[in-house]
C-alpha cells in the first residue's frame, strides 16, 4: 500500500470516528455482562399431576443476594438454549431494566410407559381453566427450587412474572388470572385462548369479572394457527378487546408472521414493559361498565370475621343487621351495623337458612331436624312447622314462607309454600333446590339449582302458587366442577340477582344472563346478603370467613315496599 493510500485510509477512519459512524463496540472494549448460571433437574414428585416426569431448568443471575428476596419469572415449555433467554436476562438485569430475577423454565409433564407411547400432559396442564396448574407451580415447583438450590425467592405476586407461547401462553395468563396474588405480570405470545379445554371462555370472563391486578404483554400472528379449536389470530384480538374493555394494563401487537412469531425477539421488550415501574405494584384495571354499576372505587373486600365452621344462610333485618347460621356449631350469629358480631341463638337447631318476615320475626330451616323455627327480637324461638328438611327459606311480604329442599331418596329437590299450618309443594322437580329470592316488584320468584348452571324463574300467582317456570338465569361453572354450586341468593332494589357460587358472586341481569362476577379471596361463596347501616353493604360468607364491601345498590327484603322494576343495561 502506498503512503498516499495509507494516509487516505487513515483520514477516512478519522472522519468516520469524528462523525460517530463507528460504534462504541468498535472503539472501546465492551463492558462484560455478568453471566448467570444454569441448573437442571428432573421433577417427578408431583402429587397434583401424579406419576408425571418433567425437566426443569433454572437461571440464577450472578447479582443474586441471599439476603434479598429475588423476583421470579416462570416460563412454560422448558428451556431452549438456542433462544438464549438466559443471555437476554443477563443483559436486562445488568442494565437494571428489570429487577434481579430467577427464571424457572418448566416443561409439561409426561407419564411414561416403556410398552406404550405414554401420556402427554401438556394440553391437560396448559389449555384448561381452573387453578390446578397454578397450584402445581406454587405448591410444588417453586418450593422445590427454593429449597434445593437455597434460593430466597419472593412470594409476592408483584415480584413474579410468568410467560410462554401458544398453550404455554394461555397457561401463563390463566395462572395469573386464578392467582393474581401470586403472578401479576404475563408474557403471552400467540396464546391458545381457544376451545381445547375451555380457554375460549377467558375473553368473556375478563369482561364480566371485577378487574384483577394483572399486566399483560400479548401478541398474535397475522398467519397464526387455525384448527378445530379456533383461530389464534382472531382470539388474540378478542383477548386484546376484552382487556381494553375492562381497563387492564396491557400491550398488544399483531405481528406479521406465523404461530409464536416474536417469542424470542420480543422477549426483552416484553420484560421491560412488564417490569416497568417496579417495585410499584401492578394496579387492577378499572373494570367493565356493568361491574361498575355494582362496585364502588376504593372499596375492596374487607375481612369481617373468621373462625366459623360453616357460615351460611344469611338474612338482613329492617335495621340493616345481618344474621347468619354456623350450622355445624349449632349457632345463629348477628352482625350489627358497626360490623360487631354477637351470638344471637346458642342452640340454633342446626339451621341452614334464615329469612326475616315483614313483622320482624326471624325464620330458620334445618336440613338436620326438619324444623322451621320462628324467633322474636329477643331470640325466643317457637316451632312454626316441621317435616321439611329445608335448605333455604324466604319470608313472603304478605306472610308465609317459601322453602327449598335437596333431593331425598329417589325424589328430586322441591320448593314448598308454608302458610297457616299448610305445607304445599309448589315445584316438585328441581334437582337440588337451594337459594330463593323474590324480585323487587314481588311478582317473580327465583330458585337456584345447585346441581346445574341454572336458576329457575317463576311467576307468583295471587294465591302464592308458582307458574310459568323457566330455566331463566344462566350461571358460569368453575372448570373443576360439574355445576355452579349455587347457594343463597338475593335481589337488590335495583333488580339485579346475586348468586353465591363456586366462582364467587355472580350477578345476573333482569333478562337472565350473568353480567358481573365478583371473586372472593377464597373463591367459593356459600352465602350472600346486602345490609348495613345504609343498606348498601354486600356481605359474602365463605365457609369459615365473612367479608364485606360497600356497593352502589341496596337491600331488598320482606320488609321492603313494592318496588317498580326497570329494564337493565346490556
Could you give the angle at which helices 267-275 and 85-94 cross, rounded to 10 degrees? 40
Whether 244 and 157 share a structural domain = yes
Mean pLDDT over 184-213 rounds to 98
Residue 173's CATH number = 3.40.50.1820
C-alpha–C-alpha distance, residues 491 and 468, integer Å = 20
- For residues 244 and 288, the answer to whether their CB atoms sit within 8 Å is no
* Domains in the chain, number: 2
- For residues 234 and 201, the answer to whether their CB atoms sit within 8 Å is no
Kind and range of the H or E run holding 5: helix 3-19
Q: Per residue in 8-17, pLDDT tens?
A: 444 344 334 3
The last residue of one of the domains, among 258, 279, 300, is: 279
Provide the residue range defining the domain that includes 209. 37-279
Mean pLDDT over 290-317 rounds to 97
Confidence class of residue 408 from pLDDT cuts 50, 70 and 90? Answer: confident
Whether 252 and 390 share a structural domain = no
Would you state the pLDDT for residue 16?
A: 42
H-state helical runs in 344-458: none
Would you state the pLDDT for residue 416?
A: 98
Q: What percent of the chain has pLDDT over 90?
A: 90
Whether 266 and 314 share a structural domain = no
C-alpha–C-alpha distance, residues 316 and 557, integer Å = 7
Question: Is 286 among the domain residues?
Answer: no
Mean pLDDT over 197-208 rounds to 98
- For residues 185 and 274, the answer to whether their CB atoms sit within 8 Å is yes
C-alpha–C-alpha distance, residues 143 and 153, integer Å = 9
Question: Is 10 among the domain residues?
Answer: no
Half-sphere exposure of 132 toward its Cβ, with a 13 Å CA cutoff?
19
* pLDDT over 80 (residue 28): no
Whether 273 and 324 share a structural domain = no
Would you state the pLDDT for residue 30?
A: 59
Residue 514's CATH number = 2.120.10.30
Q: How high does pLDDT run on average in the chain?
A: 94
The answer to pTM > 0.85 is yes
* pLDDT over 50 (residue 21): no
Whether 80 and 224 share a structural domain = yes
Question: Is 332 among the domain residues?
Answer: yes
Q: Phi, psi at residue 67, to the nearest 5°?
A: -85, -15
Please give, one letter per residue, the 3-state secondary structure of 215-277. Answer: EEEEEEECCCCEECCEEHHHHHHHHHHHHHHCCCEEEEEEECCCCCCCCCCCHHHHHHHHHCC
Q: Per residue in 518-553, pLDDT tens?
A: 999 888 999 999 999 999 999 999 999 999 999 999
Q: Per residue in 351-399, pLDDT tens?
A: 999 999 999 999 999 999 999 999 999 999 999 999 999 999 999 999 9
Whether 100 and 168 share a structural domain = yes
Question: Is 452 among the domain residues?
Answer: yes
- In what order do the strands lie in the sheet containing 185-189? 37-43, 54-60, 101-106, 71-76, 160-165, 185-189, 215-221, 249-255
Whether 382 and 273 share a structural domain = no
Question: Is 18 among the domain residues?
Answer: no
Question: Is 136 among the domain residues?
Answer: yes
C-alpha–C-alpha distance, residues 353 and 327, integer Å = 9
Question: Is 461 among the domain residues?
Answer: yes
C-alpha–C-alpha distance, residues 52 and 191, integer Å = 24
- For residues 212 and 288, the answer to whether their CB atoms sit within 8 Å is no
Whether 68 and 159 share a structural domain = yes
Q: 380: burial class by Cβ within 10 Å (0-12, 13-18, 19+)? A: exposed
Q: Per residue in 239-280, pLDDT tens?
A: 999 999 999 999 999 999 999 999 999 999 999 999 999 999
* pLDDT over 60 (residue 485): yes
Angle at 196 between CA 190 and CA 197, to 5 degrees: 115
The last residue of one of the domains, among 242, 264, 279, is: 279
For 130, the grid coordinates are: 381452573
Whether 347 and 256 share a structural domain = no
* pLDDT over 70 (residue 290): yes
* pLDDT over 80 (residue 35): yes
For 18, the grid coordinates are: 469524528
Q: Is the peptide bond before 268 cis (omega within 30 degrees of 0)?
A: no
Would you state the pLDDT for residue 293?
A: 96
Whether 412 and 485 share a structural domain = yes
* pLDDT over 60 (residue 53): yes
Q: In the chain, what is the straight-line distance between the N-terminal and C-terminal CA atoms, in Å?
A: 82
Question: Is 13 among the domain residues?
Answer: no
Say which residue the cell 356497593 belongs to: 551
Least confident range of 99-103, 114-118, 192-196: 114-118
Mean pLDDT over 506-511 rounds to 96
- In what order do the strands lie in the sheet containing 504-508? 489-491, 497-501, 504-508, 514-518
Whether 106 and 191 share a structural domain = yes
Would you state the pLDDT for residue 318?
A: 96
Whether 76 and 122 share a structural domain = yes
Amino acid at each position: 500500500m502506498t503512503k498516499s493510500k495509507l494516509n487516505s485510509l487513515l483520514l477516512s477512519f478519522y472522519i468516520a470516528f469524528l462523525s460517530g459512524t463507528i460504534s462504541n463496540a468498535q472503539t472501546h472494549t465492551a463492558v462484560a455482562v455478568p453471566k448467570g448460571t444454569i441448573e437442571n433437574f428432573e421433577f417427578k414428585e408431583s402429587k397434583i399431576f401424579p406419576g408425571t416426569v418433567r425437566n426443569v431448568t433454572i437461571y440464577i443471575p450472578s447479582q443474586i443476594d441471599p439476603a434479598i428476596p429475588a423476583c421470579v419469572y416462570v416460563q412454560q415449555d422448558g428451556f431452549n438454549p438456542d433462544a438464549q433467554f438466559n443471555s437476554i436476562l443477563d443483559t436486562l438485569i445488568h442494565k437494571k431494566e428489570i429487577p434481579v430475577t430467577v427464571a424457572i423454565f418448566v416443561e409439561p409433564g409426561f407419564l411414561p410407559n416403556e410398552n406404550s407411547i405414554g401420556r402427554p400432559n401438556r394440553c391437560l396442564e396448559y389449555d384448561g381453566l381452573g387453578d390446578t396448574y397454578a397450584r402445581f407451580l406454587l405448591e410444588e415447583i417453586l418450593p422445590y427450587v427454593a429449597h434445593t438450590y437455597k434460593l430466597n425467592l419472593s412470594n409476592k405476586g408483584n415480584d413474579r412474572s410468568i410467560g410462554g407461547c401458544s398453550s404455554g401462553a394461555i397457561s401463563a395468563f390463566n395462572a395469573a388470572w386464578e392467582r393474581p396474588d401470586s403472578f401479576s405480570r404475563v408474557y403471552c405470545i400467540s396464546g391458545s385462548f381457544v376451545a381445547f379445554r375451555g380457554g375460549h371462555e377467558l375473553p368473556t370472563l375478563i369482561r364480566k369479572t371485577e378487574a384483577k391486578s394483572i399486566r399483560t404483554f400479548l401478541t398474535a400472528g397475522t398467519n397464526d394457527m387455525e384448527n378445530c379449536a379456533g383461530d389464534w389470530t382472531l382470539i388474540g384480538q378478542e383477548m386484546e378487546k376484552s382487556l381494553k374493555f375492562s381497563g387492564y394494563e396491557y400491550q398488544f401487537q399483531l405481528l406479521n408472521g406465523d404461530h409464536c412469531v416474536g417469542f424470542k425477539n420480543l422477549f426483552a421488550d416484553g420484560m421491560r414493559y412488564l417490569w416497568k415501574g417496579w417495585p410499584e405494584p401492578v394496579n387492577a384495571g378499572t373494570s367493565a361498565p356493568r361491574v361498575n354499576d355494582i362496585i364502588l372505587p376504593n372499596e375492596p373486600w374487607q375481612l369481617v370475621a373468621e373462625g366459623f365452621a360453616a357460615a351460611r344462610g344469611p338474612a338482613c333485618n329492617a335495621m340493616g343487621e345481618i344474621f347468619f347460621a354456623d350450622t355445624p356449631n349449632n349457632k345463629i350469629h348477628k352482625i350489627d351495623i358497626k360490623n360487631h358480631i354477637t351470638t344471637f341463638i346458642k342452640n340454633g337447631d342446626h339451621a341452614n337458612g334464615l329469612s326475616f318476615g315483614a313483622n320482624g320475626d326471624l325464620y330458620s330451616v334445618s336440613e338436620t331436624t326438619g324444623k322451621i323455627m320462628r324467633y322474636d327480637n329477643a331470640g325466643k324461638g317457637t316451632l312454626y312447622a316441621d317435616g321439611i328438611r329445608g335448605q333455604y327459606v324466604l319470608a313472603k311480604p304478605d306472610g308465609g314462607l317459601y322453602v327449598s329442599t335437596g333431593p331425598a331418596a329417589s325424589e328430586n329437590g322441591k320448593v314448598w309454600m308454608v302458610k297457616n299450618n299448610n305445607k304445599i309443594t309448589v315445584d316438585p322437580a328441581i334437582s337440588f333446590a337451594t337459594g330463593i329470592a323474590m324480585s323487587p316488584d314481588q311478582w317473580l320468584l327465583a330458585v337456584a339449582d345447585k346441581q346445574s348452571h341454572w336458576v329457575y324463574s317463576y311467576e307468583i300467582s295471587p294465591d302464592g302458587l308458582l307458574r310459568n317456570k323457566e330455566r331463566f338465569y344462566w350461571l358460569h361453572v368453575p372448570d373443576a366442577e360439574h355445576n355452579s354450586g349455587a347457594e343463597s341468593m338475593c335481589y337488590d332494589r335495583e333488580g339485579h340477582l346475586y348468586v353465591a357460587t363456586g366462582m364467587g358472586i355472580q350477578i345476573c341481569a333482569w333478562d337472565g344472563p350473568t353480567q358481573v362476577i365478583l371473586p372472593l379471596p377464597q373463591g367459593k361463596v356459600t352465602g350472600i346478603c346486602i345490609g348495613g347501616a345504609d343498606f348498601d353493604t354486600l356481605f359474602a360468607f365463605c365457609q369459615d370467613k365473612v367479608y364485606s364491601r360497600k356497593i352502589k345498590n341496596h337491600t331488598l327484603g320482606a320488609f321492603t315496599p313494592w318496588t317498580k322494576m326497570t329494564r337493565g343495561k346490556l
